[in-house]
Amino acid sequence: MISGLLKEIKESDVLSELKTFDTRYQENDTPDVYKKCLSFLDLTSLNITDNHARIEALTQKAVEMPEHYGVPSVAAICVSPLFIETVGVTLGNNETIGIASTVGGFPLSQTYLEVKMLECSMAVENGADEVDMVFDLGEFLTGNYEEVKSEIEIIKEEISGDALLKIIIESGEIKNPSFIRTASLLAMEAGADFVKSSTGKTPVSATPEAAVIMCHAIRDFYEATGMKKGIKLAGGITTAEQAVHYYTIVKEILGETWLTPELFRIGASRLANDLLSKITGKPVVFF
């Protein structure tokens, strides 16, 4: 681990910092910010009931949304590996919206490394621009950091720079603020392009507290290495108000340069409807 970046984080300090953003939330509660949040969105469908027709319809709506509502395109469509080609075919020549896929035995990540490698390579071969994989949380919690890091490095090499690698640390299961920071740093050092908070499949997913800790880890990593890493917040983010809160945290800690789809994502589905409703001033159920 990079020397000097590991440190103890007090929950009370995180909560105190969040309070300092209160007035900033209000300032950012505007239609322009809602539109920016749409542009950061990984429009996600990861349900056991998903099928090709459903994913095709979701993707087609995402393609039509900018013209229909006068808003930016979402950053990506995030689906299970089975539906990568469906998204690609439906997108056609649209190069604005990326294709993201969960990989590596998502959401538990409790499968053979060889299976994770194969799933990642197949996802990229079939058209994924980005892959989202849970790191080995069980080994991390036992302190076996080298094994966790090694697996991420192997997956990074497997996709050979052909896709962005988003590593999910499942912050709601880690809970301890200092460990959330350590997990974020470990993922970045191992080659993650993004650190992602959650799968959305656990009782606690993204939280403002975790977002603060992750942002500070990303900022400190950048200052130590010169490498900019992205942040993705996912799980339970359903309202424009929540999106604005996360936007504000990223802006205040990481700065304006992180407020692009290249460095900031929000993983959600229902959030799109609420953002569109706030932008248009009338109820929208588009997705």
Element (H, E) at 211: helix 208-225
The Cβ of residue 239 has, within 10 Å, a number of other Cβ atoms equal to 17
Told to judge if 132 belongs to the known catalytic residues of this protein, a careful annotator would answer yes
Q: Which of 42, 132, 136, 220 is catalytic?
A: 132
Instruction: Fill in the amino acid letter for 80.
Output: S
Paired tokens of 148: 């966790």
Q: Which of 232, 251, 274, 278 is catalytic?
A: 232
Q: Which of 196, 229, 251, 278 is catalytic?
A: 196
d(CA 231, CA 197): 8
d(CA 7, CA 5): 6
Told to judge if 196 belongs to the known catalytic residues of this protein, a careful annotator would answer yes
d(CA 166, CA 231): 9
Paired tokens of 248: 């504000």
CB 226 within 8 A of CB 192: no
d(CA 111, CA 176): 25
Told to judge if 116 belongs to the known catalytic residues of this protein, a careful annotator would answer no
DSSP for 31-84, please give it.
HHHHHHHHHTEEEEE--TT--HHHHHHHHHHHHHHHHHHT-PPPSEEEE-GGGH
Which residues form the catalytic set? 132, 196, 232
